[in-house]
Amino acid sequence: MISKTVEIALNKQVTIEAESSQIYLAMACWAEAKGLEGVAQFMYKQSDEERVHMLKIVKFINERGGNAYISELKAPNVSFNNFKEMFQELHDHEVFVSESINDLVHITLQERDYATHNFLQWYVTEQIEEEAQARAILDKINLIGDDKGGLYLFDRDIQQLTVYNVVAPGNTGNKN
Domain extents in the chain: 4-167
Residue 161: closest CA among 16, 39, 59, 36:
39
Is 53 one of the annotated binding-site residues? yes
Q: At what angle do helices 114-144 and 148-167 cross, to 10 degrees?
A: 150
Is 72 one of the annotated binding-site residues? no
| pLDDT computed for residue 162 by the predictor | 54
CATH code that applies to domain 4-167: 1.20.1260.10
**The pLDDT of residue 110 is above 90:** yes
Is 129 one of the annotated binding-site residues? no
Is 106 one of the annotated binding-site residues? no
Q: What is the pLDDT of residues 119-165, one digit of tens each?
A: 999 999 999 999 999 999 999 999 888 887 888 888 888 877 654 44
Per-residue pLDDT, averaged over 29-36, amounts to 96
